[in-house]
Each structure stands twice: as structure tokens, then as C-alpha cells.
């Protein structure tokens, strides 16, 4: 008996391929049940400020360089956070076509979640068109949020570096290092989750390029605590001391009429079910959406070195 050949109409074949592609995409970002449960337990009960409306947020996780295994956990966390709090809906994509002006205008904020590299390069829409679209979007009064390697993205695009606030140089403290994070602004609304204290956790800590991530340009929120961390990890010149006296981790700023927030925590999966960090991200998102009033004025930052020296950075 000969096998029966079934020839599908072109429309049916296209629909089947689309369904298969969608399933592959869903599988790519599926996380284990135990991780989903931990994220669910870590979610804040409510937003820092009353929700004024439900916003539309574009979560972008495309990588053109190193790809973090924590992306799936981060995406799941953002979706769960928006759903539980009622603050925002998430459209998650790795398709840069969503940055076209006609599509981007439908969102209130963009979250660059562990993106890396030159994301718009080679796009049929034109790299310059998409770059301008993002800059215009933020300048017009919208929000931009960066998570971890969002600063390892377009490091030679000045406008992006100005918006995001820093450009990655290296990570002297790797994913296996336990570090202490200093709360630089205990009374700031975006740091309320830390209860006036810092936090100790295992995660990768960035060192930013000279001339970026400066307290003179943005309001610093968190930094590496020199008194609870092995600072000699960044002994580039061999003098037994850290190369710098301030290693910022989180900040906020204004860009045009828009608002920006960045935090470098998020290399490791467990960061996305660490309650204090998740609540910190929620505060930053609500600020970027324009619902949480917060001072973004740059100011001097005092850093206490392990030998007791106090260094003021401006």
C-alpha cells in the first residue's frame, strides 16, 4: 500500500509554520516550575505609588554578543510583575522591527533586558532609523529601563550611552562572587525596598568605561560597598588597591522629557526572585513610566574605602 501524500494549501502551510515558530519561541523562554514559583513568591504585593493606569511596556532581549542564561527568568519576572501589580502589560520580543516609529509610539516604556551588542545593525528598516526612533521616543517623555547588560549594548553610540547612563568595560566581580551593595540614597523612593540598608548577594558587578556612569550626570542609587567586598578583584595596575573608588550599580536620570532607570544586577537567575531587587526594579519601572515622583538631580556621592578614607565624587 502506497503512502498517502497530503498537499496543504499555501495559506495552511504558512499558518502551520507560524504556529511551529511561535511554539519554538515559547519554549526558548520557558523556565522551570520551581523558578516560576520563586519569582511568584518574590513579587511585591503592590506598587510604591498607586497605579494610575495600565501601561504598555516593550521588553526587548535581543543579543548580538554574549547571551545571558537569565534572560528567560527576567522576562518571566517582568510579565508576572506587570500582571500582579496591574501597572503594565508586557510585549516581549527580539525583533528590532518593533522599534520602528509607528510601532514604538504605542508603548510607554522600553525595557532593555540583558541585551548586548549592536542590535539594529543590518535591519532592513535601517539602523539609523531605529536609533533615531528610540532617542525620539525617550526624549518625547517616555521611559527607558536597562537591566544588567543593557550597558553592554551599543557602547559606541553616544546617545544611547547618554540615555542608559554607562558603557560596560569589564566585570572584575564575576557571577560566582559574593558582594555587598551599598545603599547610596536610603531615603530615595527607588531604594525603599532595601529598608535603609544595603544587600549582600552573588552576582556579576560591572566596571564602566571612564567618562560614563558619573555621579555628575545622574542620581546614583546603589554602588559596590568597599567595606563588604574584596576590592582587590579590580587591581589593574598591581598596586594592591582597587582601580577606582566608586563602582556604581544603579541610578536614575532624565533625558529630554523622558525618564531613565538602570540597574546592573541581573546576571544570575536568582536575582529575579530576590525580593528586594525585584521591588527595586518595580520602583524604577514606575518612575520611568512617570507614576512615581523621584528626584533625579545629580549630586556628590561619598564612598568610604576599606582603609577609612572618604572620597567624594561629583
**113 pLDDT higher than 80:** yes
DSSP codes of every residue in 191-224:
GGGGTTS-EEEE--EEEEPTTSS-TTTSEEEEEE
* CA-based radius of gyration for the chain: 21
Please state, for a pLDDT cut of 70, what percent of the chain lies above it. 88
Average pLDDT over residues 52-66: 98
The span from the first CA to the last CA of the chain, in angstroms, equals 83
Q: Which of 260, 301, 309 is nearest to 111 (CA)?
A: 260
Residue 191 within any structural domain of the chain: yes
Here the cell at position 274 is: 530576590
Residue 28: pLDDT band (50, 70, 90) is confident
Separation of CA 261 from chain center: 8
Higher per-residue confidence, 134 vs 301:
134
| pLDDT of 17 strictly over 90 | no
Look-up: residue for cell 567586598?
A: 229
How many other C-beta atoms are found inside a 10 Å radius of the C-beta of residue 159?
Answer: 15
Q: Which domain holds residue 181?
A: 28-313
Mean predicted confidence (pLDDT) in 280-306: 90
The mean per-residue pLDDT over the stretch 3-22 comes to: 50
At 311, is the secondary structure helix, strand, or coil?
strand
Q: Which of 29-38, 120-129, 184-193, 226-235 is predicted with the least confidence, judged by mean pLDDT? A: 226-235
The answer as to whether 19 is a domain residue is no
Q: What are phi and psi of 160, to 5 degrees?
A: -65, -45
In a domain, 7, yes or no: no
pLDDT grade for 2, boundaries at 50, 70 and 90? low
**209 inside domain:** yes
Residue 2 in domain: no
- CA-CA distance, 99 to 95, in Å (whole number)? 8
CATH number at residue 200: 3.40.50.880
**Residue 34: how many CB atoms within 10 A of its CB?**
9
CA distance 268 to 264: 11
How does pLDDT run across 232-289, given as a tens digit for each residue?
899 877 777 788 878 999 999 999 999 999 999 999 999 999 999 999 999 999 999 9
**Is the Cα torsion angle 146, 148, 150, 155 positive or negative in sign?**
positive
DSSP letter at 207?
Answer: E
The answer to whether the beta carbons of residues 182 and 225 sit under 8 Å apart is yes
At 148, is the pLDDT very low, low, confident or very high (cuts 50, 70, 90)?
very high
Q: How many domains does the chain have?
A: 1
The string of DSSP letters for 232-273 reads GGG-TTSSSS-S-S--EEEEEEEETTEEEEEE---SSGGGGG
CB count in 10 Å sphere of residue 140: 11
Instruction: Measure the CA–CA gap between 37 and 145, rounded to whole angstroms.
Output: 25
Does residue 307 register a pLDDT over 80? Answer: no
> How many C-beta atoms lie closer than 10 Å to residue 290's C-beta?
17
Quick check: 77 and 278 in contact, CB under 8 A? Answer: yes
Amino acid at each position: 500500500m502506497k503512502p498517502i501524500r497530503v498537499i496543504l494549501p499555501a495559506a495552511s502551510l504558512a499558518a502551520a509554520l507560524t504556529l511551529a515558530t511561535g511554539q519554538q519561541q515559547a519554549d526558548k523562554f520557558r523556565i522551570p516550575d520551581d523558578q516560576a514559583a520563586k519569582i511568584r513568591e518574590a513579587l511585591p504585593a503592590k506598587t510604591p505609588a498607586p497605579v494610575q493606569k495600565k501601561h504598555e511596556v516593550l521588553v526587548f532581549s535581543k543579543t548580538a554578543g554574549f547571551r545571558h542564561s537569565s534572560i528567560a527568568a527576567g522576562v518571566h519576572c517582568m510579565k508576572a510583575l506587570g500582571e500582579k501589580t496591574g501597572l503594565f502589560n508586557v510585549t516581549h520580543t527580539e525583533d528590532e522591527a518593533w522599534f520602528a516609529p509607528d510601532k514604538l509610539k504605542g508603548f510607554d516604556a522600553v525595557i532593555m533586558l540583558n541585551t548586548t551588542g549592536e542590535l539594529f545593525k543590518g535591519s532592513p528598516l535601517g539602523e539609523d532609523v531605529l536609533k533615531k526612533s528610540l532617542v525620539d521616543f525617550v526624549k518625547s517623555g517616555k521611559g527607558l529601563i536597562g537591566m544588567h547588560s543593557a550597558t553592554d549594548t551599543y557602547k559606541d553610540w553616544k546617545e544611547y550611552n547618554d540615555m542608559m547612563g554607562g558603557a560596560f568595560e569589564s566585570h572584575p566581580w564575576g557571577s560566582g562572587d559574593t558582594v555587598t551593595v551599598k545603599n547610596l540614597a536610603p531615603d530615595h523612593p527607588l531604594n525603599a525596598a532595601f529598608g535603609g540598608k544595603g544587600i549582600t548577594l552573588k552576582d556579576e558587578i560591572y566596571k564602566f568605561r571612564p567618562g560614563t556612569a558619573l555621579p555628575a550626570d545622574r542620581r546614583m542609587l546603589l554602588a559596590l560597598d568597599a567595606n563588604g567586598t574584596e576590592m582587590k578583584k579590580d587591581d589593574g595596575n598591581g598596586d594592591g588597591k582597587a582601580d577606582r573608588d566608586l563602582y556604581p550599580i544603579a541610578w536614575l536620570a532624565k533625558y529630554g522629557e523622558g525618564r531613565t532607570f538602570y540597574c546592573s544586577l541581573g546576571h544570575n537567575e536568582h536575582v529575579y526572585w530576590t525580593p528586594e531587587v525585584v521591588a527595586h526594579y518595580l520602583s524604577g519601572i514606575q518612575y520611568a513610566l512617570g507614576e512615581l515622583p523621584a528626584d533625579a538631580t545629580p549630586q556628590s556621592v561619598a564612598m568610604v574605602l576599606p582603609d577609612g578614607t572618604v572620597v567624594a565624587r561629583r
